Amino acid sequence: MNSKDCVKAVLNFEPAPYVPYGEYAIDSDTVERIIGHETYLRAKARTQTALWEGRRDEVVQSLKEDMVTLYKKLDCIDIVNLMSEACGLVPPKDHIPEKPKKIADGTWEDKKGRIYKYSSITRDITMIHDPDRWDREYTPEEFHFDENSMNPPDPSCFEVIDHVVDQFKEDKFIISYAGREAGLVLLGGMERGLTEYLTDPDVVQAAIDYETRLGNYEDAFFIRDDIDAIFWGQDFAYNTGPLINPDIFYEMVLPSLKARVENVKKHNVYVFKHCCGNTTALSSLFVQAGYDCYQSIQKQAGMDLRNLREIYGTEMCLWGGVDVSTLINGTMQDVRTETKESLEIARQGGMILGSSHSIATGCNYDNFMAMLEVISNDRKQTR
């Protein structure tokens, strides 16, 4: 049984020869230690600025070569996730980027007056100001979906994905993109978007319906041949609980999730859900939505593997284990202990081992290697 078969067995709650292991993402600082040179793979700010400067082909070549090298070197990883940021989808080959104006060190402004800033902690670039965020008015009429007016994505957007799939389709379990998630539609961004569910629910519902139909349309292009699963990554919770009342989530969001999952599964792939924060209050809704696997189990947000195993039983697979904070700040012995404890839970079935989120920027490299060592040794003993 190879990696692909082992992961599928766990997803189907069938016996597997060992506990499969994978990561949502491995950021560039760790990737570079493994492959031995600089990369654009999960180098979020570096990738963005290179694309702004029109170096699309340079970025694409790095992603193609370095992703294959990374997963060949880390042979204990069973999952290749092409969905995580700065990994898979790329601009079309003849794309002419609109480069924002640099207005200060690590700060840019685009033609619409939106401000972007570099974070030295996460090494990415995020929008910190949108002048239209609170002023723009939304109406239900603007969310009319017309399939005949849609333009299919350029095939070159999938250049990296198709290359990596071709390299690993026989052996590794491959996760990639579907159409947009729809889900928790936030008009005007997080703060305004959450208030709109209370102040203008009719507009929000129209937007959700539009995004759902658009996502269903996009699936035919985004779900590539020979992939095994798709991954959606929108967060639905804070560390203290859901972003919106579970009753509102049930009424307005869940029907969209069900429709999207149903459409995706027509393509004979599994559906994985990445969601940070404490989602305990939404657990039954995740099962109703039809997710096959839930990833990002954060201990610091009150999410406990043993309790989750009891909650979900054999209804939904879990993916997680070693807390990111332990990988960043713990000792190698802390990591070994936590990895062994997670393996013990995972052996009950229905679980993929990994970090609680990802191998994020700032992760202690020796700690990561210690986790991989425990996983590899366990695999030798159980096979």
pLDDT at 86 over 70: no
Average pLDDT over residues 42-58: 94
Q: Express as a percent the part of the chain with pLDDT over 90.
A: 82
Cα 277 to chain centroid distance, Å, stands at: 14
Q: What is the dihedral of CA 32, 38, 44, 46, to 10 degrees?
A: 160
Amino acid at 12: N
Q: How confident is the model at residue 85 (pLDDT cuts 50, 70, 90)?
A: low
Q: What is the pLDDT of residue 210?
A: 97
**How far apart (Å, rounded) are the C-alpha atoms in residues 74 and 307?**
30
The closest of 11, 8, 3 to 315, measured between CA atoms, is 11
Global pTM value: 0.94
**How far apart (Å, rounded) are the C-alpha atoms in residues 346 and 213?**
37
Contact 111, 98 (CB under 8 A): yes
Q: How confident is the model at residue 299 (pLDDT cuts 50, 70, 90)?
A: confident
- Structure letter (DSSP) for residue 178: -
Q: Quick: pLDDT tens for 182-234.
A: 989 999 999 999 999 999 999 999 999 999 999 999 999 999 999 999 999 89
pLDDT at 141 over 80: yes
**How far apart (Å, rounded) are the C-alpha atoms in residues 333 and 267?**
43
The domain limits of the chain are 3-91+156-382
pLDDT at 62 over 90: yes
Q: Quick: pLDDT tens for 16-27.
A: 999 999 999 999
Of 88 and 170, more confident: 170
pLDDT at 306 over 90: no
Q: What is the pLDDT of residue 9?
A: 97
Q: What is the dihedral of CA 301, 303, 42, 346, to 10 degrees?
A: 160
Q: How confident is the model at residue 383 (pLDDT cuts 50, 70, 90)?
A: low
Q: How confident is the model at residue 250 (pLDDT cuts 50, 70, 90)?
A: very high
Residue 13 burial (C-beta neighbours within 10 Å; 0-12, 13-18, 19+): middle
Q: Where are the beta strands (DSSP E) in 207-312?
A: 229-232, 237-238, 241-242, 270-274, 293-295
The class (CATH top level) of 3-91+156-382 is alpha beta
Amino acid at 112: K
Mean residue pLDDT of the chain comes to: 93
